[in-house]
Structure 1
Amino acid sequence: MGNGRFLNSSLRAFDNADVMTFFEGLGVPLKMERGNRVFPESDRAVDVVDAMLRHLRDHEVEIRTNAAVSELCIEDGHVCGVGLADGTHIEAASVILATGGASYPATGSTGDGYALARAAGHTVTEIFPALVPLVTSEAWVKDVQGLSLRNVRASLYHAGKKEQDFFGEMLFTHFGVTGPIILQLSRRASELLAAGTPDLELRLNLKPALTHEKLRERVERDFATYERKQLRNAMIDLLPKRLIEPVLNAAGLSPERFAQQISSKERERLVQTLQALPLTVTGTRPIAEAIVTAGGVATREIDPRTMESKIVKHLYFVGELVDVDAYTGGYNLQAAFSMGHAAGSYSVWNLEGDK
């Protein structure tokens, strides 16, 4: 997780149980699924949105649309409002910037918040995509696009050194790979790629439940059963059909050869490939396709307890705009909720204290 310690105070004040209580209090029944993942019982995101809109209306909160903010109004080190693109100004005793990052621009998160933060004197660290599909160079990947793998382990290597690995599900696409375990690896991959790091490689363990010795025994057993069959058919019990030829080619074995022709040395090479199928990572998909933006407003310039700027009084930063990001699984949403709760609470308390 990027800068996870920054969230300690806000998470203690408003944690995942508090989030669940909040939404259930708004009339959104929740359910917990595999992996302790929480969803609305209806599986409809619109129910969550509608509940929040009702809550805002109940508290007579004014929502202005088609009102693009172009500048922060700052006087004597205090924020005092915002300027709109049409030239009008809105006075405000405090401003919370919750513009999102640069991911999913169709939702409005076009990166405008970074420019506003810089104009206020804040440092914005380099942004790059996180939780994003990876692009690979192997031609065979396109041939197996749409193939989903479960219970595999993906490891990220840089110059022969393992950086990270995750177990779970993944998916081949026309450009490379995606899916939960790939998204988990993608932040570190993006970081290395942004630094100009060459020699980035994924290694897929297609049989992580088996030790090297047990997998060798399994291969020997299958080859004995299908000794008169070509390799493309002798491995049908080991791998999805579409993945057999790519694995054989990576192991330097012709799919046309018969199982009984494969030497002990070649079988060992096949086992090694099954446990470390290589993929060359050449990039990520664009940041617009990333689930999360890594980087953002430097956390050292924000009070972690209140989310208030240390540079401009009564200016607050929350959510993906801040240089905080987490693994997939709802953690980024929780971070945004906790930061938002802190900023919302303290912005009101500060105003009351100034009266």
Structure 2
Amino acid sequence: MNRFDYVRPSTVAEAVQALGSDPAARFIAGGTNLIDLMKYDVERPGKLIDITRLPLDKIEEREGGLRIGALVTNATLAYDARIRERYPLLADAILAGASAQLRNAASTGGNLLQRTRCYYFYDTATPCNKREPGSGCSAIGGVDRIHAILGTSDKCIATHPSDMCVALAALEAVVQVSGPQGDRSIPFAEFHRLPGDEPSKDTNLAPGEIVLAIDLPAKGFGGTHHTYLKLRDRLSYAFALVSVAAALELDGQTIRTARLALGGVAHKPWRNTDAEALLQGKPATRETFKAAADLILREAKPQATNGFKIELARRAIVRGLEQAAAGTPQSQSDKRIQ
């Protein structure tokens, strides 16, 4: 691990100033991702800016929804009574996402900023366009079993690792940030990026910006017609091969409103509003759900060994929508698929 300076600002303005004064600086809160990257020599910050004393650790009512401070821990968020009652999809996604130890340390803002999941990104002995733009993508033509099937480019096929973010995409959250140019709001769908020609950029944060909070809208799909279904190589702590965040509003057996987002399949949480529109007004049947899955996956592009993800995702979408329609959300304590 390289040498670095350490500062602990007491205000957001001081944190933004500290970041702007050193392009090699990085914010640190829980450190559950950054410290690993530093140990692997993927990240070499010249300065760590400890933001744990900033006043960003509250969950507050706002315009019928909730504002979640960037320093709220994943554990606090998952077990908050308001989240459990009004946004159960989010609570379930967090509980699916990591070990209890990690949830106790990881921050909400840090979860948004997790770096990509890719063997080669973590291996500095191999070329990686995310680490060194223009060096190449070792995953293409390499070991690609865990990699993306949607939204890829010829520069990168990595996947986004977060479970929490999949639920936030389905819920249409909004990210509040601050930077040298002031405060601004970023709709969640616009926060993360697809790799395109610049896979080194994971988000649309401007230089010097810090995440302050996440706003959840009043519409949270409380009740039972939701599920977070996560398929992985083992039932214990593991990243998703495919995950599905599904939430429905039903009028009898007719779908009034649908939200659907996938994890483990793309460089960002994957939400398809066309598939949601297809579901609206249709009967909550397996045939309807299959049609939505086919629409989502029609442009899926497999690599050499991850083609199984397409059928896995198709079945997961159907199963997730069936769970949501039946009001039987996937248990996050007994992770065996229902």
**TM-score, L = length of structure 1:** 0.21
Q: Which has the higher helix share?
A: 1
Kindly name which structure, 1 or 2, has the bigger radius of gyration based on alpha carbons: 1
Per chain length, whose mean CA-contact separation is higher, i.e. which structure has more relative contact order (CA < 8 Å, sep 6+)? 1
**TM-score, L = length of structure 2:** 0.21
